[in-house]
A and B are shown apart, each in its own frame.
Chain A
Amino acid sequence: MSARWVYVLQESIRGLSRNLLMTVAVVLSVTVSLTLLGASLLLSEQVDLATDDWTGKVEVSIFLCDDTTACAPITDEQRDQLRRDLEDQPVVAEVFFESKQDAYERFQELFRDQPTLVESVDPDTLPASFRVRLENPALFGVIAEQFAAYPGVEEIVDQREILNQFLRFTNVIRNAALIVAAIQLIAAGVLIANTIRVAAFARREQTSIMKLVGASNWYIRLPFVLEGVFAGLLGALLSWGLLYASVPRVAGQLRREIELMPFIDAEHVLLIGPWLLLAGVGIAALSSVVALRRFLDV
């Protein structure tokens, strides 16, 4: 390594250790902001993952009348007619019939971890239904309009509506996390700028001599910028490590409890790493350069 690089590295490491408490503050604040940023990115991925998985499965449920409902129980004839009309309807991709027994079995399967819930239901409680998959889930209105008035149809439910509610909820959480992350990142940037300014002030004598003997600007500034970048990099690595240690564990826990849904895994956390590093190094470099802009002008 040539003498000039030795100098640049030495100076930046010296700067960091001279002001250790400040360095710790900078690293922690970068860590917190990037952890939040990473968490919101991962939440986005989780939502995308779940949405992709569900969009293919989203169905329209047409619940049928029986002895327990207010409407008159559907006759076999009415049911066959309904099925034929559904199959003839061009927006419909597939039609399954789910009998009361099928519904009961699926319910048992779904909630097998909650025995009290399973016991509260007997094979007669749940209604039979047609489960209809559409060519395009957005065309729910066509089905609702055509079949709502059919005899023996109790209710038509668009599962997409349930999904949308869930998506709105996760979007709110993700946006809140993003906003907090952005504020934290700005705070980290300001803290870095201030730290760099203090460091530059402490070394102003040396800097003024360097300027007068004709050291180039980047040579004067680089140690300060690297000082910020090291801190930013360290913060980014820490936040990556934190996410890597915690997110797969939480996702694994959820996966065991909720089987219907795919969850993100360690690989997703690894993949957002470069973005965290880029954000950490970027904000640090940017605020260092801005901090030095006026201080070290010729």
Chain B
Amino acid sequence: MITLKNVTKTYKRGQDDEVVALRDVSLEVAKGEFVFVVGPSGSGKSTFMKLLTREQAPDGGDIWVAGKNLAKLRPWKVPALRREIGYVYQDFKLLPNKTVEENIAFALEVIGKGRREIDARVPEVLELVGIEEKKRALPHELSGGQQQRVSVARAFVNNPRILLCDEPTGNLDPTTSVGIMKLLDRINRTGATVVMATHDQHIVDSMRRRVVELEDGVVVRDQTRGVYGYAG
């Protein structure tokens, strides 16, 4: 579902000052996998995620996502790529003046889905993430965990094949985080590939899923049923 071959990405900082974010990274994620991408801040996790949605382009190497070669992807085809990917942010990124329901429907409206489809699909995901009773609330009336559920619902409403989660539990307390992880696990079981960048040792250790560790832009570990550190 996701393949990286010898991917390198550097950022220019000033004239001769370059920062290497990813160095010769090769990686394969199969359909339906659940992968944690771990590593300290600045290890290249964010860059990795941004390359997958084509927010940024690599300096070298090839990337395939959902069967598309990103290097050959024309700019006007980028939206089609992103419709295959759901994205969950650490800070939720909900529109403050829209209700829960409207926030989720928005993701379908702006890709041109019809009213009938939207009206059918939104209640489904509301039920999936378990916030039907809050559907008319505005984001600021919700707790962090509830807001993150809305954000997951919005990411999943279009039935994407891939769910990218960038520190989804970063702003949540441990108990709430567990709830979100259960939700992501449930989505993973429907067949979606989930890639989650995280710092959260507790969660990684308890899930026992594949762990890819980045350090200074290099993959230093790739374990099928791993933990956060080198414990096992």
Chain A residues with a Cβ under 8 A of chain B: 2-4, 7, 205-206, 208-217, 219-220, 298
Contact = CB atoms under 8 A, between A and B. Distances in A.
A205 B103 CA distance: 13
B82 A213 contact: yes
Contacts of A210: 110
B131 to A, nearest CB: 19
A205 B91 CA distance: 12
Contacts of A214: 79-85, 111, 158
B95 A212 contact: no
Nearest to A220: B110
Interface in B73-112: 75-76, 78-85, 87, 93, 95, 106-107, 109-112
B82 A205 contact: no
B53 interface: yes
Interface in B119-173: 154, 158
B93 A208 contact: yes
A3 B115 CA distance: 7
Nearest to B103: A209
B95 A209 contact: yes
A216 B113 CA distance: 12
Given A212-B82, A298-B75, A219 B87 contact: no
B93 A205 contact: yes
28 contacts: A2-B114, A3-B109, A3-B115, A3-B118, A205-B93, A209-B95, A209-B107, A210-B110, A212-B82, A212-B87, A213-B82, A213-B83, A213-B107, A213-B154, A213-B158, A214-B79, A214-B80, A214-B81, A214-B82, A214-B83, A214-B84, A214-B85, A215-B110, A217-B75, A219-B110, A298-B54, A298-B55, A298-B75
B108 to A, nearest CB: 8
A213 B85 CA distance: 8
Contacts of B80: 214
The majority secondary structure among interface residues of chain A is helix
B87 A298 contact: no
B87 A4 contact: no
A210 B93 CA distance: 11
A209 B114 contact: no
B95 A217 contact: no
A298 B78 CA distance: 8
B74 to A, nearest CB: 11
Nearest to A2: B114
Please provide the 8 A-B residue pairs with the shortest distance between their CB atoms, ordered closest to farther: A214-B82, A214-B83, A215-B110, A213-B107, A214-B79, A216-B79, A210-B110, A298-B78
Contacts of A215: 79, 110-111
B79 A217 contact: yes
Given A211-B82, A214-B79, A217-B79, A7 B55 contact: no
A3 B110 CA distance: 9
A125 to B, nearest CB: 81
A202 to B, nearest CB: 12
Contacts of B84: 214
Contact of B95 (A205, A211, A298): A205
Contacts of A208: 93
A235 B135 CA distance: 43
A209 B75 contact: no
A2 B118 CA distance: 13
A213 B112 CA distance: 11
A214 B110 CA distance: 8
Interface string B195-219: 0000000000000000000000000
